[in-house]
Structure 1
Amino acid sequence: GETYPIHWNWRGIVSNIKLELWYKVAAGVQWWTITSNTPNDGSHYFTVPYYISDSCGIKITSNVDANCYALSEVFKIVRPTIKVIYPNGGEDLIEGEDMEIIWDWNGNFSNVMLQYSIDEGSNWQTITTNTSNDGSYHWTIPSGIWLTCLVKVINTTDIDCYDMGDASFNILDATIDVKRPSLGDTFYIKRKHPIYWQWTGGFPTVRIMYSTNGGGSWQNVISSAPNNGYYIWTCDTIVSNNARIQVISNQNTGAFSVSDPFVIADTSSLTEPLRVLAPLQGDSFPVGGKCCITWHSINFASPNQVNLYYSIDGPPWIGIATVSNSQKRYEWTVPNYVTDNCRILVEDVNGTASDISESFSIVLQKIEVVSPTSVKEWVVGRKYYILWNWTGGFSNAVIDYSYNGGIDWVTIASPTSNDGAYEWTTPNTPSTQCLIRIRNYENVNVVTISDTFAIKPQSITISYPIASDSFIVGRKYYISWDYTGAFSSVNIEYSIDGGINWTSIVSSAANNQYYQWTIPNTPSNLTVIRVINSANLDVFGLSDTFSIVPQTITVTSPVLSDQWIIGRKYYITWLYTGGFSNVKIEYSYDNGSSWNTIKESTSNSRSYEWTIPNTPSDDCFVRVLNHDNLSVCDTSELFRIPLQTIELTSPKTNDNLISGRKYYITWRWTGTFTYVDIQYSTDNGTNWSYIANNVTNNGNYEWSIPTANSESCFVKLINPQNPSVYDISEMFSILPQEITIT
């Protein structure tokens, strides 16, 4: 799943190559094509396929010659790795609560499956079949009591790639604690009384039951009520001196609570026209929570309504609402006052009757941070969930963090919905003294601070180049790296002096773990690569020290003792290392004292066809240079450029050519020239006459012999492009025509 570079060198002319991966499995050696055709430029990047094997290799083959190939050393393809961070053993988690599963990983895979076991791994149940492999997942803990639980994180593309916690953790029952009714309370038949309870864990509904015989038998109050901590019950039952209330989680019946014994009485003692039944002495309500006001009353004169008031530590009375007297109940949202002496006044709107409740308390809301905890280590740039519980009612929260133990605070969100969860991208403030603070947005006095936890810095680890590498100037090579945390871009630099000075390769390159680099002309044995988080320059990775070696050119033709003839065409050939597009080609005919340009710039194709100039010499060289870096060059071995030559082969000595007849002039030549001029002399070379000009140089010419009588004749052939190249025949005779009577 990860990507790696392949690098190679070559000799000769190979335009394109095929790349294959071989791997050994039980059935034998298998082959997988990386690419069937790619330019032979010395580097290629590929994503490793999912073929797990201890014996693998790369084969590189010329696409024009299957016998030209190379095999890499043997290597392994291994599975990616996953490491469960939390829960990792020993934690006590409560059913129904929110928690965060956290993991790290190595390798490149997009999604994971999450499972949990309640029997130490014998059986597994699914949390989610597919979630992003981003290192965290928000999980609601299932119901039940299990002391041998594990979480497992699985690569969805390879189920054998997984990890589970190092040891088991505990899932504990949610808890319920009935607060009202309590010992000494009296509920009246057919009257409304609130039942209050507190709880830990998470479950949406409860079942409420009552007993009039101390718990010997139970009857339903309601089979499913919202788990909001209160329920107003119309006490429709018989009298009892040993009544009980039981509140049970509908998600897990093992989570329940039974109240203290209380009294259920008839209404004979309710002689007042109006009596407040709740709240009662000892009740305590958080700001923003619900206080259930209930009362007994007669029917009042029209409009049969009551006014509800509250007081803080005595008068004045502050209005709550005017409501119908027939409802005998009101759910009051507790105001933002903290007191141990709050009372409720219920009054007939006509002023005929009123009553004041017993004194009760209003307390601040409470917030409890569930995550992070002291065992958490969060990595800069990754996303994690801040989780919290609360009591009381408030709509919005403020979340802050500190990286210095609470000396300074930085706002994460203000406001954010008070829903118990916030996904936070961890900032670039690595520290072992981090804290989360959550506040009520409407009341800054309602605040809590998490355990101290750690934010770990991001890290970058360069995997290539390595210490044994030699990169050739002008060639392309891949830089590759791994990282922790999350950041979108990197800066890449190199140093040729062991890290004293740095030069930029690229800024703000995508953080995709590799970059193709064209090697600059800076040969050095002390080269180092540095990859830097663009958003945090303090986070970087350094490569091993490696070498940048210069480009080379090796002229392979001409070679020692070659004779290249003027006017003919020959191939100059060369090999090279490194990458450069064009070469300059020169030659010398004075043993290297001076140089003449053959071609100022031509493609670096390893060959060039050269027409030999008219510079005959025994001391010739050819030189091929990198056009963009003339210090990279090579000179051929010594060779010769001999003169062009013409050798007349006819006429010859003792030839007698008869005037008026036709004879062939024949010749051989060296070099390349298209035409010849042909002359003759009948006076031993003192004077010359043209036979023909610009005759095709094909080695023969049919000549009609002129009228002459001479024993001192010659024929001369001349290269008209280079008149110094010529030849004169042997002496011959031209005889006059004659007639002989026989």
Structure 2
Amino acid sequence: MKITDTADAACYSYSDYFTIGEVCGFIVTNPHDGSTWMNNEERSILWDPSGGSGTVKIELYLGATPLCTIISSTANDGSHLWLVNDCGGGFSSEYRVKITDTADTTCTVFSEPFTIGAACGFVITNPYSSSVWANGEERTILWEPSGGSGTVQIDLFKGATLLCTISASTANDGAYEWIADDCGGGFSSEYRVKITDTADANCYEYSDLFTIGAACTFEITNPHVGSSWSNGEGRSILWDATGGSGTVRIELYHGAVALCTINTSTANDGSYQWIVNDCGGGVSSEYRVKITDTDDANCYSYSDYFTIGEACGFTITNPYSASIWRNGESRTVLWEASGGSGSVKIDLYEAATFLCNIDPSTPNDGSYSWSVDDCGNGYSAEYRVKITDVADSTCYAYSDLFTIGEACGITITNPYSASIWSVGENRTIMWSPTGGSGTVKIELYHTATYLCDIIASTANDGFYQWSVSDCGVGTSSEFEVKITDSVDTSCYEYSDNFTINAP
């Protein structure tokens, strides 16, 4: 600008150089209210330049207190890349950026308050790679926060696909209680949890891949109440599994006390073959099996109480191979027992065919009084008694084959006391049979002394044609015929004394 005296043109002066332009004004757009920046992050300070000179100064304030100059002069182009530094102010949400025109200190503006804190980071510790969670279970998502704002968003992903938001905003305190929900993703081992700082979308972390499946449960069906197992036996532990991981741990308990691990990890397929071992607990009815999911200690089940004791076995001593029992007789079934439970079942068989149950449960005391009954099967020499432990159907024994039939009786009607038979004649020996087997043996006696077999075996039909022989004795009136049941030698009869004449 030049000023000149109007009466003296030689009297004038110039001012300093100065600027005439658009009125200076700035609007800071970044950082803004809600921004959370971390020390050592690269962040862009942004503003809309309006008028002013070609350069600006940028400063950092905490509230109304200047902390440091970010840059003393930078182009007034609306952007400055800053390596964030809180200039010793520490974590706070009261920071402000101040931008001032370097040529006009009256041209200045502050940003909205924003946050500077420790560098944001997360380490998710739960779920982890082998976690198996089930829909409806209450589970705790755990993470270790570093820096960041006071809240986080938690999302569920399947692979790289977002399924749902678990929580849009929860305290960044390292733990969140979640009712597990696969959000329609179905059973899979490719789920991931993502945690993101709500104020900084660039600050996030994914968990390991983990599994969500059906709710984990077990129902142990064997051993069951009444099971009696013995050391050294091969037994099947059986269970019905729902959900859970692919493997389980099986343990043996005595009451509430853990005795030993049967298997640390076996397939969760519902069956495990175990060589029974009481693990030092001794004979007791207080044993239990516990099955636990190897990936979820909260998913377990106990079996019913059952017995482990001496190996179960029976030896039946009566009836035996020569026994002949009659319907309606009172007979004693006898056996020697080792181990087993306190009661047995007794059945009647013919050979391999089940006929009837003699008693469904009687004390395992080695003796049972039975009113003999062939169960409608009739006379046979192939009956067997079977004894079975009521708590262990694999522990049983059969008796020897023996006979049950109608009470045996023989009444000889011919020869009789007045009979006189001659050697070489054909005579009919006659008798009335009752019960007994289907065949008899016929012998000739003299004065109570056996002479010879008339026939070793013939039908028990009441008569036999005999070509009379005195078996070398000669004429005598003291001959007897003896008829004996072929199966039951205790069933026999002698005829009256009669006469045989020599030729």
Interval of TM-score (by shorter of Structure 1 and Structure 2): 0.3 to 0.5
* TM-score, scaled to structure 2: 0.42
Higher relative contact order (CA 8 A, sep 6+): 2
Q: Under a length normalisation based on structure 1, what TM-score does the superposition of the two structures give?
A: 0.31
